[in-house]
Structure 1
């Protein structure tokens, strides 16, 4: 019995010693966000900030060059291994209502009495929400099947209306976060301070109009992209797929 008591005392001392060693590292890493941020490699230094800006500009340019944000995000998800199955899901918010104002009706080229549909969704890859979108659209310019999908399912908008072979014209594109301060190129890059890079939840916003038949607008969308675009270990090594 004494031998067992001694073993328990030794185990307790070793456990307290290990905990004391781990606490400083945990405190240095800072609090983790609910979405799992930060991920390995995203420390706050000049080189990482340059890489973050390059990634943000790449995402922005790719979204601007493609007609469907859904397909662009799916490709981004696959390339950066954000989920085991790189498939975009639309998570509908059925509680929010935002009636179309006069400016939205003007851009959609409809009168005051024309019914306007509204859809608010989050586009997720696996468990990661990559963007949130407010979408106003003209049901009379879609097929009955398209309207059914939009009204009763979580099908992403771009997927539901894909048969229209639509085009997209971006009205505005705003970076909501700048990893580097103005004039950074005239100063030495900052060394790591041993803390994670703080990235705000919203990093990029696009406002765009979708057209069918060349010049008939049928949808106006405001998309806000989130930091989960960067939810992968930076500088990860290539492994077999």
Structure 2
């Protein structure tokens, strides 16, 4: 059984705390305009808090987002796809290799995607993973299709260990402007490691959830 480091390398901790680099093109679809009132700000905060709790409680962010979209009418059908951004993919830094238990000779791949539902961009994610801990079929699907990572590796019965969950926007703490509620590009960020049932890590994730998670009509 592989044991994740009790203390993460300092450089990787700095990476977790620094703002993640956004994809260079394809800005997320904005939420439908909501009136900027105290009640709408409280509602937006409640939705973001709910999504955060749900993500923390489930191993697969992809399935969580599909259920989120299905319950709120985002996309038709509520099917999450991964749009890959190959130009932004980089070699894994040493700190990520250490987290995944990979030495200098062990391949670690980087998959950079936008998770979308219909025309709505829900999140942007960087995923470093060890192909030697996946099946050949899984690796082929990841290399050649837009299937989200969580769906591809679902047969592994993986676990998710959250390293950081950060609310990037707290609308209820800000005063309303009496105009239209302006939602920032990113509202929530997670850093996590996926492991096999025995604790062996195979993927390190950086996820930024966009204004698109609120792309539904304002609550009554």
TM-score class, shorter: 0.7 to 0.9
Deviation at 1:36, TM superposition (A): 6.3
Inter-partner Cα distance in structure 1 for 2:163 and 2:169: 19
SS at match of 1:232: coil
Inter-partner Cα distance in structure 2 for 1:142 and 1:59: 28
Inter-partner Cα distance in structure 2 for 1:214 and 1:205: 26
Stretch of structure 1 that moved more, 146-155 or 92-101: 92-101
Q: TM-score, normalised by structure 1?
A: 0.77
What is aligned with 1:82? 74
Of residues 140, 154, 171 in structure 2, which corresponds to 1:179?
Answer: 171
Q: Which is greater in Rg?
A: 1
The 5-angstrom pairing of residues 1-241 of structure 1 reads 37=30, 39-40=32-33, 42-181=34-173, 193-235=177-219
What is aligned with 1:31? none
SS at match of 2:86: coil
What is aligned with 2:5? none
8 A contact 1:165–1:212 mirrored in 2: yes
CA deviations on 1:66-100 (whole Å, 9 max, x unpaired) are 00000000000101101121000111112112211
8 A contact 2:29–2:120 mirrored in 1: no
What residue ranges of structure 1 are gaps of 5+ in the alignment? 1-33, 185-189, 237-241
Inter-partner Cα distance in structure 2 for 1:125 and 1:36: 10
Structure with greater helix share of residues: 1
How many residues end up aligned between the 2 structures? Answer: 194
What residue ranges of structure 2 are gaps of 5+ in the alignment? 1-26
Q: TM-score, normalised by structure 2?
A: 0.84
Inter-partner Cα distance in structure 1 for 2:107 and 2:130: 7
Inter-partner Cα distance in structure 2 for 1:177 and 1:200: 7
Inter-partner Cα distance in structure 2 for 1:218 and 1:37: 33
Inter-partner Cα distance in structure 1 for 2:66 and 2:29: 20
Aligned-residue CA RMSD (Å): 1.6
Runs of 4+ in 1 over 2 A off after TM superposition: 34-40
Inter-partner Cα distance in structure 2 for 1:36 and 1:210: 28
